[in-house]
Each structure stands twice: as C-alpha cells, then as structure tokens.
Amino acid sequence: MITLMQKLIAELSPDESHQMLRMRRTLMATGSGLVLTAIVIVAMALGMVEMPVTGFIFLYGLVWLVNLTFPLMISYDINLLFKDPSLTIPQLIWHTLSNTISIYLVPELHSVFLMHYLLVVLFGAFRMQRKGFLIVGAVIMSCYCLAMTALHLTGRYSFDPERELLGMVFFLFMLIGVSIIGTEISSLRWALKRRNSELNTVMQQAQEQAITDDLTGLYNRRHLMDILRRQQALAARGDYHFSLCFVDLDHFKQINDNYGHKTGDEVLQTFADLARNSVREVDFVARLGGEEFVLVLVRTELAGAQHVAERLRISMSKARLDVLGPDSQVTASIGVSQYKAKEKIEETMHRADIAVYAAKNRGRNQVVTEDDLTSLIISSLHDDADLYTESDAR
C-alpha cells in the first residue's frame, strides 16, 4: 500500500520547479482544510452537529471533491491556462466558503473558525496584490455575516448581539491588519521578483556581450574556440562530424581606405546578416577579427559545407551595397575543411586558413576546399616544371 501511494505521488508530482512550488502551496491550503474537516468530524461525533450522517458525508464529499480539484489541476498543468497559474483567489474564496459551512454546522466553535479565516488571508500573501486582499476580505466578512444571520433566523444558535458585534469589530480589525501585512509581504515579493528579473536581464546582456562581437552581433573569437572544443568533444564520441568555412572579404582594406571605416562597418554588418541567413539554427557563425569570419557547420561533411560556402559567396557577390555605389561589388574568398577524428582543432582551422589563401591566390571570389589543396599543389609543381623546361630550352 505504501509503495502504491509513493508511486501515485510520484506520478502526480509536477516536474517543473514553478509547478512544484504551486503544488506545495496548494497542498498546504488543502492540509488546513483537512484540519478543519477533522474538527467538524469530532464535533459530529460529540453530537454538536444537527445533521444526518448521510447528509454530512455527502456534503463533505462534495467539499473534498473541490479541495482535491486544485492539486489535480496543477498536476495535469490545467492551471497554466489561467492568468494566475497559482489559482490564488479561487482557492481562497473556496476555503472561505468551506470554513463558512463549518461555522454554520458547528456554531459553538465559530470563534475557532474565525482564526481559520485569518489563515486563509495569510495564504494570499504568496501571490495576491492589494485588490485581491480587498476582494477576499469582503468575501470573508460577507460569508461570516450571512452564516451568523442564518443561524439567528433559524434559531439554531442564540447569541448576544452586542457581544457578537464587538467580536466582529475586533475580527474586522484583525482581518484588516493581517491583510495589510499580507499586502506588504506580497509587495516585497513582487519587488524582489522584479529586481531578480532585471538582474537576470543584465546578467544575460553581460553574458551576450562577453561572447558576441559588438559590431556584427556574431560570436567572437573566444566563444568560437569554446564552440569548437564542444564540437570536438562530440566528434570524439563517434558518428559525428562538422566542417569549418573560413571567410575573408576581398580587398576590404581598400574599402576602408577609400570610403572610411563607417562604410567598412556597414559592409561587415551586411555580410554578417547574409552569413546568419545562409546557415541553419544549429550552426554557428563567428567573427575572427577584421574582415575574417568562420562558419561552424554541425553534422556537415565537406561536400555539404562547400555547397553552403558557395551559396554564401554568391549571395555576397550579389549583395546590394548602396554605401559603395550602385555598381559596386564586394566578394569573398572561402576556405573549407572538415574535422578529422583525433586531430587537434587547430589543424582543422589551419587547413581552412590555407584554403582561404589558396582562393586568394587563384584570383579571389571563389571557394577552395581542403581536397582542392592537393590538386593545386600538384598543378603548381607542374607549372614550375614547365618553367624550368622553357628556361633550359632558351
């Protein structure tokens, strides 16, 4: 039986931390309702309740059906459909009504149940603001007055009006005091929540500034190295590959010299936007510095990376750069390499860097992969051999 209960509790317990907190508060309120029910049951056993047993069981069966509805709503995330997921005011109003039922059933203990009203108001300190306390306070006073009036009219309980009025004034004073304290607690809580939110925003901005390039909004070199180390770790587990695209904008120094650094910055920002739009959400784009950029393409082999690089190269060559004039064009030379198992990440970067220089030497505005480097070296050797042959012929 105990094992079954443990499994049931584990099944109904929310996984999300905020939901868990809401569940804990709701169970606290349900626990106070359980104490209230226990007091009425004891009074029933002592003959203090003028009600048939079957009617009593039916009435409190309905009460506990509603009591258990709140934790079940949180357990199945139904509460998230409401503006206040904690269901604070509905719970407070319901527990006020159930407490009023207890007063009507056992009027001799109404002074005890009055203290439970105060407990209900304190529960609201977790979530309610001033308006909520006013609503709940009005509901409490209305319910209490209705219960006492009904008891008086039915003749089930006789009381001294002056004494009862004095007690009601004192209770009202206590209710206002508890409401004020609850309002202050709630205000402090909301202020702390607002401060924490602001602090989290500032921390997030600081973190973003630490890992991003101020000009382009891309990742900076430091964060790039962290990304590459994580990619390397994933590749070390097996069945994972990634590729790098090193990008260098052609003749960028001339743009700065001829048009100024402000124009150069706009060109860099244009390329950054194109690069972001050329890759998937799982990929990464970083600025190494100056006019040099790196694309980290996850789960992408060399051929796929070459395709992405070629698409980016074409997009950049066709980009509209009004700051340079209507017919101006900025091109990019791109080198592509794929990470190989167990090698240092610097080796992968070095091959991509060499490929960029090869693209520059071949006339710029083109993509060169690490596989192309071998054919380029062989072609260069053939050119050198032809040069020596022509020299001997002379």
Strand partners, 199: none
Q: What DSSP state is assigned to residue 322?
A: G
Residues near 77 by Cβ (< 8 Å), separated by ≥ 6?
14, 19
Exposed / middle / buried, residue 88 (Cβ in 10 Å: 0-12, 13-18, 19+): buried
Six-digit token pair at 245?
């695209």
Residues near 379 by Cβ (< 8 Å), separated by ≥ 6?
none
Please report the pLDDT score of residue 9 as a whole number: 55
Backbone dihedral region for residue 321 (phi beyond 0: left; psi -120 to 50: alpha; all else: beta)? beta
Q: What domains can you pick out in the chain, each with its CATH number?
A: 2-206 (no CATH), 221-393 (3.30.70.270)
Other CB atoms within 10 Å distance of the CB of residue 385? 10
Length of the chain equals: 394
Q: How far apart are CA 309 and CA 299, in angstroms?
A: 15
Exposed / middle / buried, residue 22 (Cβ in 10 Å: 0-12, 13-18, 19+): buried
- Tens-level pLDDT at each residue, the chain (394 residues): 445 445 555 566 777 888 888 898 888 888 888 998 999 999 999 988 888 999 999 999 999 999 999 999 998 889 999 988 988 888 988 999 999 999 999 998 888 888 888 888 777 766 667 777 778 888 888 888 888 888 888 887 777 777 777 777 777 777 777 777 767 777 777 788 888 888 888 888 777 778 899 899 999 999 999 999 999 999 998 889 999 999 999 999 999 999 999 999 999 999 999 999 999 999 999 999 999 999 999 999 999 999 999 999 999 999 988 888 777 889 999 999 999 998 999 999 999 999 999 999 999 999 999 998 876 654 553 443 343 334 343 3
Predicted model pTM: 0.54
Please report the pLDDT score of residue 386 as a whole number: 43
Q: How far apart are CA 240 and CA 251, in angstroms?
A: 36
CB 103 within 8 A of CB 115: no
Which amino acid, 97?
L
Q: How far apart are CA 358 and CA 221, in angstroms?
A: 23
Q: What DSSP state is assigned to residue 238?
A: S
CB 26 within 8 A of CB 74: yes
Please report the pLDDT score of residue 391 as a whole number: 35
CB 210 within 8 A of CB 262: no
Please report the pLDDT score of residue 366 as a whole number: 95
Please report the pLDDT score of residue 133 as a whole number: 75
